Amino acid sequence: MLCLTLTGSTLEENRALVERNRKWISLAELRLDYLHPDEQKIASSFPSTVDVPVILTLRRSSDGGSCTLSEKQRLQLLYEAAKGDFAYVDIEDDVKKTDLKFKDPLFEQKVDLEQSLKQRHIKIIRSYHNFECVPADIFGRISKLAAKGDIPKVAVTPKSMMDVITLFRVEQELANLKEKIVIGMGEYGICTRILYKKCGSFLSFCSDSQAAPGHLSAQTMSTLYRADKLDEKTHIFGIIGNPVYHTASPKIHNPGFEAIRYNAVYVPFLVDSVRAFFKLAEMLQIHGFSVTVPHKRSVQPYLGRITREVKQIGSCNTVVRIQNMWKGTNTDYYGFLAPISEQLGKGEIKNALVVGAGGAARAVVWALHNHGVKVTILNRSMEHARTLASETMSTFDTLENAHLYNGNCELVVQTTSVGMGNLGNEECIPSFNFTGKEIAYELVYNPKETLFLKRAMEAGCTIIGGSQMLMEQGKLQFEAFTGYHYPHWIQADI
């Protein structure tokens, strides 16, 4: 189930949030701590106004919430709101049983909140939050939370791939607990939110406003990742990198899987240790994955086979499981060539300028070299340019000398990160003047139009954007992963 965390300041706002996300969610969590004080007083009426089961939560600021009331006031407010027809009420693990007894004006004696909830068949979620780490005793903590017959919920913060492995181990370690909620918060935890069933969790939270670190929207969880539809037979694929969440690759692969009705999901994994990820890959029986910076070299010692391109380039961007071993390939090589294959076939590209000398540049230079193109590498660091040039029998120069090559090449390829993110207002080779006869090829795909491309376009050049290469190499990965051609009728939103 996908549970939408409601962060509106009024009940009306929250009803609108449920309505807007209704097709993607199975239940909602009403966060009392986000509500205006006047709205908190009538919160008990909320469950009867929406058509999904509702969890009632009043989260303290120390647990990532917005409630700053005294503990006595907070629990009194929770008790009053819990008189509504909620399906679940969230109570933190450190709340003492004596603190849950209240004087109710309607009764002469004290009322026990837990007892009253159970009498009305409202389930209690017993929650533990840790924004610092994944505690070493997490399995014991979950068992202790479940001991009273409540639903245990742990929301912890993995800081490494080993922490992520611990969260995925919960299912096998505590398989006897049928109802539990296991959440990895923050960037490392996003894969646990998507693959929540693999952690043994019966729901995953989402929100329109990232109410907790790592929240994705309900639409993204349900339509892009189909998280609520994954089952034991689902093949898991992914992409590893650091950083990794800027990637558009899930928007290529997941719609492709759905189009051919292939039971699979493609998930981003933030990876600090390649060795640890391979452990996770065995544990989750991951069938294949894409590799982005900085891991294109470091995955290679773990591969049983590599292709000629990987050996030559020294860079691997695709790993697939074959015959109980991992095979590494490089689809960047062929993905780069696809948009210019016609010009190369006609011999129209004889000289090329390649800007940059990093991992992406290596694939580009080797691809051009193998097709008989004379390449000049322009780079800020002369040492990196010299190394790549000597390996590929190319020439090299500094970026400052770009103007010396005006009119001397048919292809200019921009392989650096200049043009994206914080470097969006920069240009990689401002001194180079396009004549209009060049093909300007940009590997950055976000934004779609960099200053490099804009200047080339104004000069009348043929333009190739980064999304074209991304799509072409993605199609080749898709074939390696599934054995099927990428569906031609799908227009990926990248």
Is 228 part of any known ligand binding site?
A: no
Is 424 part of any known ligand binding site?
A: no
Diameter of the chain measured on Cα atoms = 94
Q: Which two tokens stand for residue 20?
A: 């807007």
Tell me the C-alpha distance between 413 and 336, whole Å. 10
Is 247 part of any known ligand binding site?
A: yes
Catalytic residues: 296
Is 248 part of any known ligand binding site?
A: yes
Is 249 part of any known ligand binding site?
A: yes
Owner of token pair 């499981």? 321
- DSSP states of 143-196 as a string? HHHHTTSSEEEEEE---SHHHHHHHHHHHHHTTT--S-EEEE-TTTTHHHHHTG
- CA-CA distances (angstroms) from residue 302 to 244, 281, 327, 439? 21, 12, 9, 38
Q: Which residues pair with 57 in a beta bridge?
A: 31
Is 445 part of any known ligand binding site?
A: yes
Is 10 part of any known ligand binding site?
A: no
- DSSP states of 197-236 as a string? GGGT-S-EEE-SS-SSTT---HHIIIIIS-GGG--TTPEE
Tell me the C-alpha distance between 12 and 254, whole Å. 34
Closest CA to 267 of 169, 277, 302: 277
Whole-number CA gyration radius for the chain: 27
Q: Is 303 left (phi over 0), alpha (psi -120 to 50) or beta?
A: beta
Secondary element (H or E) of residue 462: strand 462-464
Is 281 part of any known ligand binding site?
A: no
Supply φ then ψ for residue 306, to 5 degrees: -135, 150
Is 378 part of any known ligand binding site?
A: no
Is 360 part of any known ligand binding site?
A: yes
What count of other Cβ atoms lies within 10 Å of the Cβ of residue 398? Answer: 13
Is 307 part of any known ligand binding site?
A: no
Supply φ then ψ for residue 411, to 5 degrees: -140, 135
Tell me the C-alpha distance between 407 and 207, whole Å. 53
> What are the DSSP E strand ranges found in 198-344?
204-206, 235-241, 264-270, 288-291, 305-306, 318-322, 325-329
Is 358 part of any known ligand binding site?
A: yes
Is 359 part of any known ligand binding site?
A: yes
What residues form the annotated binding site for NADP(+)? Answer: 356-360, 443, 466
Annotated binding-site ranges: 247-249, 292, 317, 332, 356-360, 443, 445, 466, 473
Annotated binding site for shikimate: 247-249, 292, 317, 332, 445, 473
